[in-house]
Amino acid sequence: MSQGVLRYLARSFVNGGNRDGGRYLLGTFEAEFGRWNGVSCGVIYARRMLSSSATEPAPIDKEKKGSAIAEEEEEKKKNGGGAVVPSSYWGISRPKITKEDGTEWPWNCFMPWETYRADLSIDLKKHHVPKTFADKFAYHTVKLLRVPTDIFFQRRYGCRAMMLETVAAVPGMVGGMLLHLRSLRKFEHSGGWIKALLEEAENERMHLMTMVELVKPKWYERLLVLTVQGVFFNAYFVLYLLSPKLAHRVVGYLEEEAIHSYTEYLKDLNSGAIENVPAPAIAIDYWRLPKDATLKDVITVIRADEAHHRDVNHFASDIHFQGRKLKDSPAPLGYH
């Protein structure tokens, strides 16, 4: 703080507080604070004021600020008029993104270039026949896990899907993370598998974000997710370290079960046992569905995604089974 300001404050204090001067200082701060419309900007400007040698801002400062605002507005226009994030200090702003129909893109969690139309022509009946001991172990483990799931959820498929998606999004993240660390340790490429597995995890998470629009989790379901995540994340992490071949095979069979569950869900939607409500907005944008899409359309595209995950994971397990490395076999990137 400069000597000028200190002198001013001391004089105000000795005079019993020069209210006019104080109000002026505060008034100027408020005016600037309002204009910049941001706490950090307001504070930055207040500091600038206090570090200047005069209590009254020089006209030249106002001109400078005016031109800075004009420059900022110009920059906004260049970036497509997008909203500037609360603190512009770091120069971060999101350009304005529009949909094909010209309306503003409403999501921050995914962008238009990450959306896709699901390939519904995929064979839903494809199955990997377990041959080796590891395959049979994976197959029967998954079948065994299905028993308590069937008992707990029965035909409450909305709730079942929501809860199972919290688990389904874990393997891709664990596998992707471990391959990422391996790539760093070994100074080698991953063949695209890091990205492919992380894409799968993100896709599964979008299934969850969609389901949660339709079914609101109860407190005990949230508690169950916490417990299951704690157990499953660690179990899958250790399994992937010990045998990625077995880990991918387990996920392949889990995906086969997911296809079965979503097929049952569709049966209940067709019979009217579950109401075929309009599709959530997030699903319409993510899978580029028509505006009048329904829950049936959403479940159909999610089921197609699960079939793709099934293929990717059985394929990865086969690569290991043949004694080859994932990095030597190009990953199915963008495989939906």
Interface residue list for Fe ion (CB under 5 A)? 165, 168, 204, 207, 255, 306, 309
Q: CA–CA separation, 198 vs 177, rounded Å?
A: 8
Using the minimum distance from each CB to Fe ion, give the nearer residue, 163 or 178: 163
Beta bridge partners of 294: 278
Using the minimum distance from each CB to Fe ion, give the nearer residue, 161 or 319: 161
Local structure of 123: helix, strand or coil: coil
**C-beta atoms surrounding 77 within 10 Å:** 11
Residue 291 Cβ vs Fe ion, minimum distance, rounded to whole Å: 24
Residue 157 Cβ vs Fe ion, minimum distance, rounded to whole Å: 13
Using the minimum distance from each CB to Fe ion, give the nearer residue, 255 or 297: 255
Name the token pair of 182.
Answer: 């391996």
Residue 131 Cβ vs Fe ion, minimum distance, rounded to whole Å: 23
Using the minimum distance from each CB to Fe ion, give the nearer residue, 169 or 194: 169
Using the minimum distance from each CB to Fe ion, give the nearer residue, 207 or 320: 207
Using the minimum distance from each CB to Fe ion, give the nearer residue, 25 or 162: 162
Q: CA–CA separation, 190 vs 192, rounded Å?
A: 5
Using the minimum distance from each CB to Fe ion, give the nearer residue, 248 or 309: 309
Residue 49 Cβ vs Fe ion, minimum distance, rounded to whole Å: 55
Tell me if 221 sits within 8 A of 159, measured CB to CB: yes
Q: CA–CA separation, 186 vs 23, rounded Å?
A: 65
Residue 173 Cβ vs Fe ion, minimum distance, rounded to whole Å: 13
Q: Tell me what percent of the chain is helix, strand and coil, each rounded to the nearest 5.
A: 70, 0, 30
Residue 209 Cβ vs Fe ion, minimum distance, rounded to whole Å: 11
Q: CA–CA separation, 205 vs 170, rounded Å?
A: 9
User: How far out from the chain centre does Cα 265 lie?
Assistant: 25
Using the minimum distance from each CB to Fe ion, give the nearer residue, 160 or 309: 309
Tell whether the torsion through CA atoms of 159, 275, 120 and 111 is positive or negative.
Answer: negative
Q: CA–CA separation, 233 vs 167, rounded Å?
A: 8
Residue 297 Cβ vs Fe ion, minimum distance, rounded to whole Å: 16
Q: CA–CA separation, 137 vs 116, rounded Å?
A: 35
**C-beta atoms surrounding 289 within 10 Å:** 19
Residue 168 Cβ vs Fe ion, minimum distance, rounded to whole Å: 4
Name the token pair of 134.
Answer: 């590891």
Name the token pair of 62.
Answer: 């106002």
